[in-house]
Amino acid sequence: MGVVISSSKDHSGHDHSGHSHEPLEVSKSDQIPTVTLTVLKDPMSGWNAKVVVEHFRFAPENASQDHVAGEGHGHLYVDGVKINRLYGDWHHLGKLTAGSHTVMVSLSSNDHRDLTHNG
């Protein structure tokens, strides 16, 4: 099984059902968050996704609250479908079907707007 790892600001292929918030543009004056995603085979079952962010803090205690620059939560996607909300560095993915899969992470503000920079 192959896993393609991607972190992108293009969310056009993502499932946004039930997600009607406008994106939030991160200005040049703010520190632009970055995401590094690594997916590793779990020795027992499935896969482990490690998410490393810079200039961003996971803030589950502020979910659905007002926007605070540099904090919020993430969304984990497999093959363009949102699997889960992320509040930290690690997430276990269960068993995936045989073949290649695209795993992506997007970052969102506390008030659930996708963070973007230059569109």
Q: What is the pLDDT of residues 92-117, one digit of tens each?
A: 999 899 899 999 999 999 999 998 88
Q: How far apart are CA 15 and CA 46, in angstroms?
A: 22
* Cα end-to-end span (Å), the chain: 33
Query: Which amino acid is located at 102 in the chain?
Result: T
How many other CB atoms are there within 10 angstroms of residue 28's CB atom? Answer: 9
Provide the number of structural domains found in the chain: 1
Q: Residue 43: give its domain's CATH number.
A: 2.60.40
Q: What is the pLDDT of residues 16-75, one digit of tens each?
A: 444 457 888 887 777 889 999 999 999 999 999 999 999 999 999 999 999 998 999 999
Q: Is 66 helix (H, G, I), strand (E, B) or coil?
A: coil
pLDDT band at 118, cuts 50/70/90? Answer: confident
**Residues 54 and 12 sit within 8 Å (Cβ to Cβ):** no
pLDDT at 38: 95
Q: How far apart are CA 74 and CA 71, in angstroms?
A: 10
What is the domain range of residue 14? 3-116
pLDDT at 119: 66
